[in-house]
Amino acid sequence: MGFVLVEPLLARFGLGDPEWLDPATAGAIALIGIVAAFVFHKLIFPLVVRFTRWTPTDLDSRLVKSVRWPTTLGFVVLGVYLAFTVPLDLTESQQSQVDTVGQALGVMIVITVVVGLLSSAIDWYLASLATSATRVVDLRLLPLIRRAGGVIIYAIGGLLMMDVLGINISPLIAGLGLGGLAVALAIQPTLANLFAGTYVMTEGVIATGDYIKLENGLQGYVVEVSWRSTRIRDWHNNLVVVPNSKFAETIITNFQQPTNAVNVYFECGTSYDSDLYRVEEICLEVMDTIIDSHPMAIKEYGKYFAFDNFGDSNVNFWLFVQATDRLGSFVVQSDMMKLLHKRFQEEGIVINYPVRTLQFPEGWTPEDFLSRNGQNQNAHASRRRRSLKAASKSGTHRRRGSSRGNI
């Protein structure tokens, strides 16, 4: 067909021999495809990338760059395909084979383009839009989505290429389904930890560096949150590894959420002989001193004081301030205790040891109570001795009766 179109033109120049025409035309078409790919790769793509720099974000630049090589390869494949189909007189079977190979290469190029676009979009999000609150989630979850998405897209592309090449993929799909079910059952604990890890990271309730306390009493700093487990450094500087399946089901107290500030709730008490009004004044002065001078106390939060209850030995009260973080709360509470104890000593205010006052009936003395208690104990002892004596005699009679029966 190609020769019929150009034969009059070639005959005018005396080039009417058709033996070398078709191969030459095929080579020319293939060369044109390669030149077009080179021009597109070296000239047109840089111009397109330069235009994308005028947009507010660099997402379009990333997307264009990701399809640069697949598109270049597409021009080459198109040129070779046209070189075989246009000038050469192929038989029906040969044409079918060329079409099949061309379709398979086209599917491969499209799959490569899709994977490149997905990867570029995720990289752009990680570089541009990830905020500090979701940084851990983005850095861990999105790369996994990119890898899993790439594997899935390549697998689908491979099945499509096999189908284009005439390979029956129905048994393969059935086998993959059964194999996937078997693998899922075999690695069920691992999958449970994986999904639990996804929940822990996407929930955003903990992050690396947070001080947490679990329901079972374990507490420490979060070192790492991975897909399988969460690592915690406790107060003994030991690394505790908690599987995510258990970590997601326990009750967690995060001492650094919603902010790093930690309230310092301090309880104390003074004797019933103390002047409670003076006690309140001293406590407020102590809290003012701590808030004004301590670097780990938060001034904006203020101070709070109240008497709580009448205890067994003291009138109990509490002081309430706020520290910058968890460690700061220990330091603030310790300094406040020392200063409060010093002020109470200077003012003569007593913090009683555990004391219990006994109230006797009118006319009674402790000696009467002790003597009566001793009589009761003697009476109980005499009754017990009589009971034991009676039981001993009863046992003697039973032993004698049994001996006569044996005779």
Give 319-367 pLDDT, tens digit per residue: 999 999 888 899 999 999 999 999 999 999 999 887 666 676 776 666 6
Each residue's pLDDT tens digit, 75-109: 888 888 888 887 777 788 888 888 888 888 888 89
Is the predicted pLDDT of residue 397 greater than 50, yes or no? Answer: no
Same domain, 168 and 125: yes
Residue listed under structure tokens 């034991």:
388
pLDDT of residue 164: 82
| Tokens at 207, concatenated | 């992050």
CA-only gyration radius of the chain, Å: 44
Residue 138's pLDDT band (cuts 50, 70, 90): low
Amino acid at 81: Y
Same domain, 305 and 172: no
Q: Which residue has the higher pLDDT, 314 or 165?
A: 314
Same domain, 119 and 64: yes
- Number of independent structural domains in the chain: 4
Same domain, 86 and 40: yes
Same domain, 126 and 179: yes
Range 110-126 average pLDDT: 85
Dist CA 396 CA 376 (whole Å): 31
Is the predicted pLDDT of residue 309 greater than 80, yes or no? Answer: yes
Is the predicted pLDDT of residue 374 greater than 80, yes or no? Answer: no
pLDDT of residue 402: 39
Distance between start and end Cα atoms, the chain: 137
Same domain, 48 and 155: yes
pLDDT of residue 15: 54
Same domain, 242 and 127: no
Range of the domain at 289: 262-347
Per-residue CA distances from 264 to 268, 283, 306, 309, 325 (Å):
13, 14, 14, 19, 10
CB atoms within 10 A of CB 191: 14
Same domain, 89 and 223: no
Cut 0.85: pTM above it: no
Q: What is the mean pLDDT of the chain?
A: 78
Range 274-283 average pLDDT: 94
